[in-house]
Amino acid sequence: MDAKDTPYEHSFTSQYLLSPLSPAEEHVLKYAANALYGGGTDTVTATLSGFFLAMVLFPDVQKKAQKEIDDAIGQFRLPTFSDSDRLPYLAAVYKEVLRWHIIGPMGD
């Protein structure tokens, strides 16, 4: 199924943008949407930075993970959550990146 054919639900922001807003409501929407969308960007950026660093430092791991993806999924579609059972090495790489490049304090 192509992305254009995939059904979707309107997001928090798009639901409100489809209806007329007063300037005050639009102002509130901007700040609320910023908080929702911006709230996770620092952790995602830190995780991706750690992942890319690991792939540069360990190209053999990158090649093995790419081979697992190609063997399980092929080259003509993106992975989905239903593919996770066929990607154990990739899951281990992800967990190792989180262990190796901690994105936040873990407590005592």
DSSP conformation class of 40: T
3-class secondary-structure state, position 33: helix
Q: Which two tokens stand for residue 41?
A: 């960007």
pLDDT over 80 at 2, yes or no:
no
Give the whole-angstrom CA distance, residue 12 versus residue 17: 9
pLDDT over 70 at 19, yes or no:
yes
Non-local (6+) Cβ contacts of 97 within 8 A are 47, 50, 51, 54
At 94 the pLDDT is: 93
DSSP conformation class of 32: H
pLDDT over 90 at 57, yes or no:
yes
pTM of the model: 0.64
Q: Which long-range contacts link 31-34 to residues 24+ away (Cβ below 8 Å)?
A: none
